């Protein structure tokens, strides 16, 4: 049992203990404003070959949080090498968890959690780290996690996470920007509850599903998110002994168990990375194939690529090949929770629609501020008008390379894609966003024949193609 001390009128929290870091991953990051590195892309190079798709970022992050549920070792395979993953590793380490990385495998030992408070300076850099609140509370009976705050794409509140935990018997209060939660009434475990989510939030579904695995009794999550990463988390928890059914539908039922056991688990391929490479094929009119993928996870993206005139073939159960048609037509897109069109593919697809024949309308319904890439695409010659959450895209015959600034992760990807198709040189600044979510994007594109290079410093915007960016023959 944890030692506790009182904070305020009603909150008990364990006393913090000094933690020794066992982390073998870089522990500091260059502040974004100091990073002057640019990515320079020489456009109009045809692509060809095969791409290896990495493990899913969003699965990796939440499954790493989920390891807190198990008082033992967890081995997680197929973990992408990303800044966000390193940040989550740092957060787990700060909580007292032992974590080591070998290649794409993480060994996590959360037998002893020495801290119930996640550090603000780390949580503020990674919104997904708020998800530790569910497992921490379920495991320790107490959790203190700073509010992650808004981000470039919207306010992103956590009210659904908090209300769900309250329904499960937690006292949750926000003081000085930190969410303090503990299990009420001297109980050892959260209590199963029926929880209706106002919207099918991925993060809230994941937080509450994790919390419910160790609760007493049955929890029913209604209007739950159905994203593949939610299913992956459920499979991970089930492999540890959790009793969960219905993941992948809008009603998830979790029967709590007293404890979970060690596990060796491999995470799913990243459907957003795969979708980004499919768009890379389409926008450069190049035939490329990618594996491993789970084609059903890409159904809405494949449907839209087909509707603009691309052929998509399933060469093997886990391999897709795109063959762009001679003409690409406009199409309308509305972002929606899974199985609708993913908001994370909205920006990459917009780059493609700038070069498609006719007018397209994109409606962003998931996040309120996710059209900031429009101004940058317009600098490259696109013709896009924004009205509220609508982007009206009038197809143009060509884009021209320009200096542009990435505003968020998927916006960065859209600028890379536009740069691959544009005449001349595109120079992208603020690469810290790209590094959060795409493993070795440049290496993979170079393997397909793209010409691109990072330059740490100056912004010589019209440089000739250096020999070092002549594509290598290695494809991954």
Indicate which residue of 70, 151, 199, 310 is catalytic.
151
| Nearer Cβ to ligand UD1 (57/139) | 57
CB of 55 to ligand UD1, least distance (A): 13
Query: Does 360 sit near ligand UD1 (CB under 6 A)?
Result: no
Among 122, 367, 418, 422, binds ligand UD1 (CB under 6 A): 367
| Nearer Cβ to ligand UD1 (344/439) | 344
Query: Does 150 sit near ligand UD1 (CB under 6 A)?
Result: no
CA dihedral (301, 304, 305, 310) positive or negative: positive
Query: Does 288 sit near ligand UD1 (CB under 6 A)?
Result: no
The DSSP letter of residue 27 is -
Among 26, 46, 157, 358, binds ligand UD1 (CB under 6 A): 157
CB distance 232 to 202 below 8 Å: no
Q: How far apart are CA 117 and CA 182, in angstroms?
A: 12
Q: How far apart are CA 157 and CA 149, in angstroms?
A: 7
Which of 85, 84, 125, 129 has the alpha carbon at shortest distance from 105? 85
CA dihedral (32, 104, 295, 130) positive or negative: negative
Query: Does 174 sit near ligand UD1 (CB under 6 A)?
Result: no
Q: How far apart are CA 155 and CA 268, in angstroms?
A: 28
| Nearer Cβ to ligand UD1 (158/421) | 158
Query: Does 156 sit near ligand UD1 (CB under 6 A)?
Result: yes
Q: Is 151 a catalytic residue?
A: yes
Q: What is the radius of gyration, based on Cα positions, of the chain?
A: 23
What x-and-dash track marks residues 324-353 binding ligand UD1 by CB under 6 A?
-------------------xx---------
| Nearer Cβ to ligand UD1 (42/338) | 338
Residue 351: C-alpha distances to residues 340, 357, 475 (Å): 19, 13, 24
CB of 285 to ligand UD1, least distance (A): 28
What x-and-dash track marks residues 21-60 binding ligand UD1 by CB under 6 A?
-------------------------------------x--
| Site size with ligand UD1, rule: CB under 6 A | 21
The DSSP letter of residue 286 is -
Tokens read off for 156: 């992103």
Token pair 């197929």 is at which residue? Answer: 78
Q: Give the count of beta carbons closer than 10 Å to the beta carbon of residue 457.
A: 8
Among 15, 16, 159, 311, binds ligand UD1 (CB under 6 A): 159
Q: How far apart are CA 284 and CA 51, in angstroms?
A: 15
Query: Looking at 93-248, which runs of residues are DSSP E strands?
Result: 98-102, 105-109, 142-146, 170-175, 178-183, 194-196, 218-222, 243-245
Query: Does 204 sit near ligand UD1 (CB under 6 A)?
Result: yes
Residue 131: C-alpha distances to residues 79, 115, 351, 430 (Å): 18, 16, 31, 26
Q: Which residue is nearest to ligand UD1 (CB)?
A: 203
Query: Does 471 sit near ligand UD1 (CB under 6 A)?
Result: no
Q: How far apart are CA 82 and CA 431, in angstroms?
A: 13
Range in contact with ligand UD1 (rule: CB under 6 A) among 24-32, 102-110, 201-209, 389-397: 201-209
Residues between 57 and 96 that touch ligand UD1 (CB under 6 A): 58, 61
CB of 173 to ligand UD1, least distance (A): 16
For 327-362, the DSSP string reads S-B---EEB-STTSB-GGGHHHHHHHHTTSBSEEEE
Tokens read off for 21: 């870091």
| Nearer Cβ to ligand UD1 (56/402) | 56
Range in contact with ligand UD1 (rule: CB under 6 A) among 15-23, 149-157, 167-175, 236-244: 149-157
Q: How far apart are CA 384 and CA 393, in angstroms?
A: 4
| Nearer Cβ to ligand UD1 (199/303) | 199
Range in contact with ligand UD1 (rule: CB under 6 A) among 89-97, 156-164, 256-264, 400-408: 156-164
Q: Give the residues across from 49 on adjacent strands.
A: 288
Range in contact with ligand UD1 (rule: CB under 6 A) among 40-48, 158-166, 286-294, 326-334: 158-166
CB of 131 to ligand UD1, least distance (A): 8
What x-and-dash track marks residues 103-132 binding ligand UD1 by CB under 6 A?
-------------------------x----
CB distance 277 to 444 below 8 Å: yes
Q: How far apart are CA 260 and CA 289, in angstroms?
A: 39
CB of 200 to ligand UD1, least distance (A): 7
Q: Which residues are catalytic?
A: 151
Which residues of the chain form contacts with ligand UD1 (CB under 6 A)?
58, 61, 128, 154, 156-161, 199, 201-204, 225, 229, 343-344, 366-367
């Amino acid at each position: 049992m944890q030692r506790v001390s009182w904070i305020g009128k009603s909150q008990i929290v364990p006393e913090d203990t000094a933690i020794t870091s066992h982390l073998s991953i870089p522990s500091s990051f260059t502040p974004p404003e100091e990073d002057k590195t640019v990515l320079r892309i020489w456009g109009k190079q045809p692509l060809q070959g095969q791409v290896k798709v990495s493990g899913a970022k969003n699965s990796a992050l939440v499954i790493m949080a989920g390891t807190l549920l198990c008082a033992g070792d967890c081995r997680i395979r197929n973990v992408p090498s990303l800044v966000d993953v390193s940040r989550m590793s740092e957060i787990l380490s700060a909580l007292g968890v032992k974590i080591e990385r070998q290649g794409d495998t993480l060994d996590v030992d959360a037998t002893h959690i020495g801290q119930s408070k996640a550090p603000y300076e780390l949580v503020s850099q990674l919104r997904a780290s708020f998800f530790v609140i569910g497992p921490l509370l379920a495991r320790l009976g107490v959790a203190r996690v700073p509010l992650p705050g808004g981000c470039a794409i919207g306010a992103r509140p956590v009210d659904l996470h908090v209300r769900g935990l309250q329904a499960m018997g937690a006292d949750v209060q926000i003081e000085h920007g930190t969410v303090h939660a503990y299990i009420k009434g001297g109980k050892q475990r959260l209590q199963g509850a029926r929880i209706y989510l106002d919207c099918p939030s991925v993060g809230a579904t994941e937080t509450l599903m994790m919390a419910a695995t160790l609760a007493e009794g049955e929890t029913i999550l209604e209007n739950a998110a159905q994203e593949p990463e939610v299913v992956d988390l459920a499979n991970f928890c089930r492999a540890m002994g959790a009793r969960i059914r219905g993941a992948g539908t809008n009603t998830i039922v979790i029967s709590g168990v007293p404890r979970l056991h060690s596990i060796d688990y491999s995470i799913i391929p990243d459907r957003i990375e795969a979708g980004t490479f499919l768009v890379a094929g389409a926008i450069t009119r190049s035939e490329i194939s990618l594996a491993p993928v789970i084609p059903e996870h890409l159904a809405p993206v494949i449907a839209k690529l087909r509707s603009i005139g691309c052929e998509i073939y399933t060469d093997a159960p886990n391999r897709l090949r795109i063959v762009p048609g001679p003409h690409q037509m406009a199409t309308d897109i509305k972002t929606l929770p899974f199985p609708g069109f993913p908001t994370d593919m909205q920006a990459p697809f917009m780059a493609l629609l700038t070069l498609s024949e006719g007018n397209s309308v994109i409606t962003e319904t998931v996040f309120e501020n996710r059209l900031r890439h429009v101004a940058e695409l317009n600098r490259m010659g696109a013709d896009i008008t924004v009205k509220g959450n609508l982007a009206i895209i009038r197809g143009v015959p060509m884009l021209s390379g320009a200096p542009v600034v990435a505003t968020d992760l998927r916006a960065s990807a859209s600028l890379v894609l536009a740069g691959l198709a544009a005449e001349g040189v595109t120079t992208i600044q603020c690469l810290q966003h790209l590094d959060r979510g795409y493993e070795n994007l440049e290496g993979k594109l170079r393997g397909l024949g793209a010409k691109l290079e990072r330059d740490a410093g100056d912004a010589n915007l019209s440089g000739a193609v250096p020999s070092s960016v002549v594509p290598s023959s290695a494809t991954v």
